[in-house]
Structure 1
Amino acid sequence: MTSGAEPLPQQVERWRLLVDHLPALVAYWDRDLRNVVCNAAYLRWFGLTPAQVHGMHIRDLLGAALYCANKPHIDGALAGQHQRFDRVLVTAAGETRHTQAEYIPHLTDEGVAGFFVLVADITEQVEARQDLAAAQSLAGVGGYTIDPVTGTLRLSPEVLAMLGLDPADPSPTMDEYVAAVHPEDRDRVRALRVRAEHGEEYETDYRVLTPDGSVRHVHSRTSRVLGPDGAVVLLRGVMQDETEVQRLADDLATTNRLLTDLIGMLGHDLAQPVTATNGYLEILDQEWDDLDTDERRSLVRRASRTGTRSQGLLADVLALVSIGASSLTTRPEAVDLVAVLEEAREHARLTLTLTCETPARAWVDPVHAARIMDNLLVNAARYGRAPYVVGVREDAGEVVVRLRDHGEGVPAAFLPQMFDRFSRAQTGVAAQVAGTGFGLYLVRELARANGGTVRHRVPPDGTGAEFEVRLPVARTLPPTDAPVPEPRRPR
Structure 2
Amino acid sequence: MADDIHANESYYLRLVVDRVPTMLAYWDTNLICRFANRAYETWFGANPDHLLGTSIRDLLGPELFAMNEPHMRRVLAGDRQVFERIVPGPDGMQRHSLAEYLPDVVDGTVRGFLVQVTNVTELKETQAALRRENHLRIQLEQNALSLQALAQERSDMIDVLAHEVRQPLSNASAALQSAQGALRARGDEFGTEQVVRAQEVLGEVLSSLDNTLAVASLLARPDPIHRDDADIATLVAVVIADMPSSERNRILVQRMTPTRTALMDMSLMRLALRNVLSNALKYSPQGSDVLVRITDSDEPPALVIEVSDAGAGISPDLLPRLFNRGARDGERSDAAGLGLGLYIVAKVMSMHGGGTELVNTGPEGTTIRLVITQTDHKE
SS at match of 1:321: helix
Aligned to 2:329: 425
In 1: Cα distance, 2:322 partner to 2:278 partner: 15
Aligned to 1:356: 255
Tell me, yes or no, if the aligned pair for 1:334 and 1:474 is still in contact at 8 Å. no
Aligned with residue 445 of structure 1, among 327, 335, 347: 347
Tell me, yes or no, if the aligned pair for 2:166 and 2:206 is still in contact at 8 Å. no
Letter in 2 for 1:352: I
Is the aligned partner of 1:27 residue 2:28?
no
Tell me, yes or no, if the aligned pair for 1:270 and 1:310 is still in contact at 8 Å. no
Residue-by-residue CA offset, 1:337-361 (whole Å, 9 max, x unaligned) = 3442344334332513321111342
Distance 1:131 1:454, change over 3 A: same
Aligned to 1:458: 360
SS at match of 2:252: strand
Aligned with residue 380 of structure 1, among 276, 280, 304: 280
Residue-by-residue CA offset, 1:134-164 (whole Å, 9 max, x unaligned) = 5667789xxxxxxxxxxxxxxxxxxxxxxxx
In 2: Cα distance, 1:354 partner to 1:371 partner: 18
Aligned to 1:143: none
How far residue 121 of structure 1 moved from its aligned partner, in angstroms, is: 5.7
Tell me, yes or no, if the aligned pair for 2:325 and 2:343 is still in contact at 8 Å. yes
Aligned length in residues: 269
Letter in 1 for 2:219: G
Residue-by-residue CA offset, 1:84-107 (whole Å, 9 max, x unaligned) = 9x99989587xxxxxxxxxxxxxx
Matches within 5 A, 1:306-455: 312-327=207-222, 330-348=225-243, 349-350=247-248, 351-360=250-259, 361-385=261-285, 386-396=288-298, 397-427=301-331, 429=332, 431-455=333-357
Distance 1:276 1:365, change over 3 A: same
SS at match of 2:267: helix
Aligned with residue 372 of structure 2, among 450, 471, 474: 471
In 2: Cα distance, 1:339 partner to 1:271 partner: 23
How far residue 399 of structure 1 moved from its aligned partner, in angstroms, is: 0.9
How far residue 471 of structure 1 moved from its aligned partner, in angstroms, is: 1.0
In 2: Cα distance, 1:456 partner to 1:272 partner: 36
Query: TM-score, with normalisation over the residues of structure 2?
Result: 0.51
Tell me, yes or no, if the aligned pair for 1:456 and 1:467 is still in contact at 8 Å. yes
In 2: Cα distance, 1:465 partner to 1:371 partner: 20
Matches within 5 A, 1:77-226: 123=120, 129=125
Residue-by-residue CA offset, 1:170-207 (whole Å, 9 max, x unaligned) = xxxxxxxxxxxxxxxxxxxxxxxxxxxxxxxxxxxxxx
Letter in 2 for 1:391: R
Tell me, yes or no, if the aligned pair for 1:333 and 1:474 is still in contact at 8 Å. no
How far residue 374 of structure 1 moved from its aligned partner, in angstroms, is: 0.8
Letter in 1 for 2:214: A
Distance 1:38 1:406, change over 3 A: farther
How far residue 316 of structure 1 moved from its aligned partner, in angstroms, is: 3.0
Query: TM-score, with normalisation over the residues of structure 1?
Result: 0.41
In 2: Cα distance, 1:295 partner to 1:316 partner: 34
How far residue 474 of structure 1 moved from its aligned partner, in angstroms, is: 9.3
SS at match of 2:295: strand
Residue-by-residue CA offset, 1:199-257 (whole Å, 9 max, x unaligned) = xxxxxxxxxxxxxxxxxxxxxxxxxxxxxxxxxxxxxxxxxxxxx9xxx9xx9xxx9xx
In 1: Cα distance, 2:223 partner to 2:212 partner: 12
Instruction: Select between 396-405 and 382-391 the one with higher mean Cα deviation.
Output: 382-391
Q: Please, which runs of 5 or more residues in structure 1 have no aligned partner?
A: 1-14, 50-83, 94-117, 141-243, 476-491
How big is the alpha-carbon RMSD for the aligned residues of Structure 1 and Structure 2? 5.7
Letter in 1 for 2:236: L
Higher relative contact order (CA 8 A, sep 6+): 2
In 1: Cα distance, 2:342 partner to 2:350 partner: 12
Q: Please, which runs of 5 or more residues in structure 2 have no aligned partner?
A: 1-26, 39-48, 57-67, 77-92, 103-114
Tell me, yes or no, if the aligned pair for 1:319 and 1:328 is still in contact at 8 Å. no
Instruction: Select between 436-445 and 313-322 the one with higher mean Cα deviation.
Output: 313-322
Tell me, yes or no, if the aligned pair for 2:96 and 2:124 is still in contact at 8 Å. no
In 2: Cα distance, 1:378 partner to 1:130 partner: 60
Tell me, yes or no, if the aligned pair for 1:335 and 1:474 is still in contact at 8 Å. no
Letter in 2 for 1:471: I
How far residue 391 of structure 1 moved from its aligned partner, in angstroms, is: 1.6
Tell me, yes or no, if the aligned pair for 2:239 and 2:274 is still in contact at 8 Å. yes
Tell me, yes or no, if the aligned pair for 1:340 and 1:370 is still in contact at 8 Å. yes
Higher helix residue share: 2
SS at match of 1:412: coil
SS at match of 1:455: strand
In 1: Cα distance, 2:317 partner to 2:204 partner: 30
